[in-house]
Structure 1
């Protein structure tokens, strides 16, 4: 493996840190033509982007455009691929159908009708999110909360159901297309607090979105400060899933309430809560600006732990060199590599997914080039309906080539860490494409999971 050349960073990153507040300027599908840098593309390329952006959500801000993209290397540039629509994100048939509509009408209702037809084919809510993960209070479902694993609750505050920019691979893309039936959100902090106070087995609260860090600090105070009351002593860890360090590090440095935000997190830490920023870094380029380095330093000084995660993505980071360099840089900056995910079976998966065999190869080779502190990253991990399934390796057992798998997390905690085996398939990209090895007809968890799907067993019975 050849090391990443340091001069690459210097080509695109300013080494001067300017702490002058920057105005947040965002572009969506309707402002694509206003992004000056796209003028270098052909008319056909810009039209292709509009076709895709009318189906999958698009949003980018000026910080990303000016600081993270090497405009001399588009469309191959990984951050360009990360935020801008590409033709291959839709099937050829879906692309052509939407292209015909856009060429023949500007009627938004007709365009939206075709877009929604295509979206329904893209598995907008994978892994039974809307059927198995929704908790109840007195037999009434609670909107905006997911409780898939015994110790951890996910909360989707309504004020955080957008991001500073959208990732083109996002598995929560359905949150951003304006369909209320496909969104998770909860405006009422009281319902969250009631649920948590009634379930003492919960130790971790994960605030997610969208991106909770688009919220004003006052909203975060309303959700977080009650966690300091004695009735929430069982909530030991508060995680915040965010892409803000990549897409808007100003949130921690020079936004108008940046100091208030960092102070809130520090206050929670001093009160005994473990505060973890679950930072989404898909490429080392996102960590290279002076502004993100300053944001990281401020969070760490407040006692916040920053853990990092990303899916393995074709066109962006399908390269062990990129992962090894990124993990080394994360350790150098005091971050904890946490997960390498497999691209989920939703949205633009056809463009970004890689075979599971390739995912294992990238993970294994990348780990060979980091120290022990970088080997905290787990994976490759599939966030499936039954749980998080890790590919532990590829082995030859009794003459049969197999994937060695295990649950890192599961709906039934008894499944966790139990190894199981699947027939080797060089083209498989997800668990449902694998078959049990050694002549077995089903995986060990299948009957119990089917019973959960059929409502014969509660997925929250454990």
Structure 2
């Protein structure tokens, strides 16, 4: 069958009343819009609060002046064009600036705010950097969305990475199975390519992004099955999003459904304070309660996710909450000595990011100087 039709002009989404389309066009002029008729068909247009609509369709609330375009300071870790090296064993290779759809909550919207055409990147400098560092065992290919690249173009990147002996894991981060499963179902060359490079000794991991259980349609599940049959290992990550999955019942349904189809939950991320994302933000402490309540409705395989913030200093897991304090631990860190570091803060119910807690400390709202020094976040690398 023919694949979905892509739409980049919000004024052509006929399900939206004409007057509203014009208002939303103002938002799309700042933060680009891109979707397809398959994904738009999943939206209940009679419900203005439909969660899939919130994922794909612009909202005037995006124009609120809140957050930054590089909320996790990714630019501080750029080591080659389109490549970041934040953690010792892992590099992030941005293969493309284009996605099958632009998530309204995207934390890399700076890459495509003023661009709607695919950009083919020369990754030779990236490959050279990886080749010269034997400590790198993991390469995460992301973007943009790598699976939106033509298969021959993606294969050229995967092939070059696979030639590096010390790289054992290739990860591909993608929302294509949710946004356009027909990209996988209608191109047998893609699973065939994955099967050539996902070997018993060196697996390819597909890091999917399903945010809501309604995205797990029959075509999406069949696409995931094709990826698994090609030898890829699947895992899912999603941010916690207000109005999308911030209900424990909905989140539990998502976790369970993912475990059933073999894409077990991997990370539940606190939504980054990116420009345009204020209306998606759930306070950290509320998010932790939602996460724990959702897990209580799940079996073991659906409980494996980590609730974390992808902070400029590392992945900070939220590990506990009591009447007075909230407890964090560095699940991963830019500085090796911080990995596993345990941190205790006074509760702050309105906090939406780790910096909200450290700001309280810096402003002197706790008096113990020794405690203040202990929980100060590490500086960015020089």
TM-score if structure 1 supplies the norm length?
0.77
* Cα distance, 1:303 vs structure 2: 1.3
CA distance in 1, matches of 2:276, 2:62: 5
Following TM superposition, where does structure 1 have runs of at least 4 consecutive aligned residues deviating by more than 4 angstroms?
none
Any idea what the Cα deviations from partners look like across 1:128-177, whole Å, max 9, x if unmatched? 211x2011xxxxxx2110001111100112xx211111101110111112
Compute the RMSD of aligned alpha carbons: 2.1
Q: How does 1:15-30 map to 2 (within 5 A)?
A: 20-22=1-3, 24-28=4-8
* Cα distance, 1:395 vs structure 2: 2.2
Any idea what the Cα deviations from partners look like across 1:107-129, whole Å, max 9, x if unmatched? xxxxxxxxxxxxxx751122221
Any idea what the Cα deviations from partners look like across 1:366-385, whole Å, max 9, x if unmatched? 01000011111111x11111
From 65, 73, 78, give the equivalent of 1:134: 78
Partner-residue secondary structure (3-state), 2:73: coil
From 185, 188, 203, give the equivalent of 2:122: 188
> 5+ unaligned residues in a row in structure 2: which ranges?
none
Between Structure 1 and Structure 2, the one with more helix by share is: 1
Distance 1:227-1:50 versus aligned 2 partners, 3 A rule: closer
Distance 1:443-1:186 versus aligned 2 partners, 3 A rule: farther
Partner of 1:364 in structure 2? 292
Partner of 1:265 in structure 2? 194
CA distance in 2, matches of 1:395, 1:271: 44
Distance 1:228-1:352 versus aligned 2 partners, 3 A rule: closer
Matched, 1:71 2:45: yes
* Cα distance, 1:186 vs structure 2: 7.5
Any idea what the Cα deviations from partners look like across 1:75-122, whole Å, max 9, x if unmatched? 11100111111122222xx6xxxxxxxxxxxxxxxxxxxxxxxxxx75
Any idea what the Cα deviations from partners look like across 1:246-277, whole Å, max 9, x if unmatched? 001111111xxx21111111111236321111
Distance 1:438-1:311 versus aligned 2 partners, 3 A rule: farther
Matched, 1:206 2:145: no
Contact 1:143 1:186 in 2 (8 A): no
Contact 1:228 1:271 in 2 (8 A): no
CA distance in 2, matches of 1:394, 1:438: 21
Distance 1:334-1:273 versus aligned 2 partners, 3 A rule: same
Matched, 1:176 2:154: no
CA distance in 1, matches of 2:156, 2:301: 36
Contact 1:330 1:336 in 2 (8 A): yes
Distance 1:363-1:177 versus aligned 2 partners, 3 A rule: same
Distance 1:425-1:415 versus aligned 2 partners, 3 A rule: same
Any idea what the Cα deviations from partners look like across 1:390-447, whole Å, max 9, x if unmatched? 1111125xxxx1110001110012211221111100101011110457832244453x
CA distance in 1, matches of 2:124, 2:5: 33
From 4, 8, 11, give the equivalent of 1:33: 11
Partner of 1:244 in structure 2? 176
From 196, 212, 215, give the equivalent of 1:286: 215
Matched, 1:311 2:239: yes
* Cα distance, 1:54 vs structure 2: 1.6
In terms of Rg, which structure is larger? 1
Aligned residues: 374
* Cα distance, 1:34 vs structure 2: 2.1
Contact 1:312 1:318 in 2 (8 A): yes
Matched, 1:234 2:166: yes
> 5+ unaligned residues in a row in structure 1: which ranges?
1-19, 95-120, 136-141, 456-462
